Amino acid sequence: MDAMRRSHPVLFWTLAVPLGLIAVFIAFSIFVAIADHPSGGIGIIVILAAYWVPTIVAVIRHRQIGTVAVINGLLGWTFVGWVVALAIACSDRGRPHVVEVHHVTKPPAAG
């Protein structure tokens, strides 16, 4: 998707904006339907928690928390943004690799 955004930006935004608006409309419809239900508050809390899963994963794993939170907050509603944020949160990129080195010496020769 990123390659498409760079090579064909007009086509990308021509597709992204309508799909994003459709996603917002569907989400709003779901919120309204859930809010009318007697236990709708719990449903809304579950949906919001699911929306912020990438940020929660980033906080738990201590991985690029700011980047993930911004992408999740601003683009998570497009689902593509949510998946990208989750991928960043789960990646090992930027993680320092620790290498342990053990020096073993031979015991003195018997004799």
Predicted confidence (pLDDT) per residue in 77-94, tens digit: 888 899 999 999 888 765
Task: Please state the pTM of the whole predicted model.
Answer: 0.53
Give the pLDDT confidence score for residue 84 in this predicted structure: 92
Indicate if the alpha-carbon torsion angle 27, 28, 31, 36 is positive or negative: negative
Residue 58 tokens, joined: 């980033």
2: its two tokens: 């990123």
Which pLDDT tens digit goes with each residue over 32-63? 777 777 776 777 778 888 889 999 998 888 87
- Predicted pLDDT at 5: 57
Confidence band (pLDDT; 50, 70, 90) for 1?
Answer: low
